[in-house]
Homo-oligomer: A and B are copies of this chain.
Amino acid sequence: MKNEKDIKKTMGNTGEFGFIDKIRESLKSKNPSVTLGIGDDAAIFKPTPGHELVFTTDMLVEGRHFDFKLITPWQLGAKTMAVNISDCAAMGAKPTVAVVSLGVPKNFPVADLEAFYDGMKSWGESFGAQIVGGDTVGSDQFVVNIAMIGEVESGRALKRSGAQVGDALFVTGTLGDSAAGLHALQNPSAKGKEITSILIKRHLTPVPRFNSGRHLATNRLATSAIDISDGLSSEVHHLCGESGVGAEVHEEGVPLSASLLHYCEENKLNPLDFALHGGEDYELLFTVPLNKISEVVQKLAGETGVACKAIGRMVPKAKGITLISKKAQRVPLESKGFDHFSKKG
């Protein structure tokens, strides 16, 4: 329990070095491949022979990506870590080490920053990612950046560029829950209270599809993969763009949770809008060649504990990217993914 004196501590009176000293002990590495953790000009680690490394980074900015009225510091820490782990998962890689940069307003309570670190540490360690360093500076808005390294057996990484015409298009889990959770958070008078906590949890503390990504990569089941951060429609466009193919997505195939359907019915909303364009699902979108489909359908869910569903197939580029409705109507699937510059004021 924090005493009153602790609660009154802010970054303004504790300072960067004071804070680093405070958290350093709790972040001591248990990973034998980390030769040197926090406290030097850089961390040192030994890569595993026979592996390639993946390297990713994500920045989240207060007021754009999150609002401390809607998310706790602990949850934000967990989510920031999840976003980066999801990128590793989309490559089929195991996350190994991460560095964390923070821009922190002067009046930010040190206790909140410790909770934020607890969230990062907890979510990171669950998936094998160790915080080995970082930078903490002053700023007007709270800004967090994580850069993460993961390892994948050489030649097995899942890229966006490998999809072939004829491959089936799959997604893990269900889509749209996170966006509906955000909708519920932003609309306290929305109906369906009995199921909103499930949706809100999917928005605030998403679980990256680590096992799914690893299973697909180590068993060479997918020709391409991407994680759904900006929304399904946007990610289908990215995958097609990198692979030089088109796609047909069947509306009927898009996996929707019972919670999403219920919430949308109660509030007269279209669940497909959330599922196609909502974003922040952190599910995996991937392509599977014909001769591997039965193996994916039979084994992926059982081995990983996360369902997967075929939602369409890859077609020649000239055919474009099409959404096929339940009534077999074909319309272009427009990319309406989240773009922080075009969407915000």
Chain A interface residues (CB < 8 Å from chain B): 11-12, 14-17, 35-36, 39-47, 49, 52-61, 63-65, 86-88, 90-91, 93, 97, 99-104, 106, 132-135, 137-141, 143, 145, 147, 149-150, 152, 154, 157, 159-161, 225-227, 242, 339-342, 344-345
Contact = CB atoms under 8 A, between A and B. Distances in A.
28 contacts: A14-B341, A15-B339, A15-B342, A36-B157, A40-B226, A41-B54, A41-B56, A41-B90, A41-B160, A41-B227, A42-B90, A44-B54, A44-B152, A44-B157, A49-B49, A53-B149, A56-B133, A57-B135, A57-B147, A58-B135, A59-B145, A60-B137, A64-B139, A101-B147, A104-B341, A135-B145, A141-B141, A145-B147
Contact of A36 (B88, B90, B97, B159): B159
Nearest to A161: B40
Q: Which 5 A-B pairs have the closest CB atoms?
A: A147-B147, A42-B56, A42-B54, A59-B101, A41-B90
Contacts of A14: 341
Nearest to A213: B41
B344 A138 contact: yes
A342 B13 CA distance: 7
A187 B149 CA distance: 43
Given A44-B91, A143-B143, A159-B36, A55 B341 contact: no
Contact of A340 (B16, B47, B227): B16
B138 A61 contact: yes
A40 B339 contact: no
A48 B49 CA distance: 10
A44 B53 contact: yes
Nearest to A88: B42
